[in-house]
Amino acid sequence: MTINETQDEIIDEFEGLTDWMDRYAYIIELGNTLSPFPEADKIPANLIEGCQSRVWIAAKRNPDGTIDFEADSDALIVKGIVALLMRVLNHRTPDEILDSDLYFIDRIGLSEHLSPTRSNGLVAMVKQIRNYAKAFKMLDEAK
């Protein structure tokens, strides 16, 4: 599935949830789908600055050129938001990540239903994921 196909799938899932309490419950449920984040990786270098809650994102490069992300948060809703980002951006190449337009965030109404601090945190998470992609791309270009 492409990034846009994954985003469209998420949009379809959220369209079936008209009440925001149901949407929040679903987001929390998605957070429970994240793989366990190693305690050893909960270090300052992986901590996302600008988030009200604590969010960690780590990345590693696969031999096929894609990036695998691991993520966690100590807040249930934020953990679900991270899970959505992982669903869209995990196992992608740096170019796919850097060229993506993450329109699903607005289309599911997430940006308008988050507090300003959570919105800032979401922007910081996306920025960090893109920074990892830029760094891996630069490593490729240096070879």
> Is 34 one of the catalytic residues?
no
Please report where in the chains the tokens 């679903």 appear, as a residue: 26
Annotated catalytic residue: which of 51, 85, 97, 126? 51
User: What is the Cα–Cα distance from 104 to 122, expressed in whole angstroms?
Assistant: 13
How distant is the alpha carbon of residue 26 from its chain centre? 16
User: What is the Cα–Cα distance from 37 to 77, expressed in whole angstroms?
Assistant: 16
Report the b/e string of 107-129 with b at 16+ CB within 10 A.
ebebeeebeeebbebbebbbebb
User: What is the Cα–Cα distance from 10 to 5, expressed in whole angstroms?
Assistant: 9
Give catalytic residue positions.
51
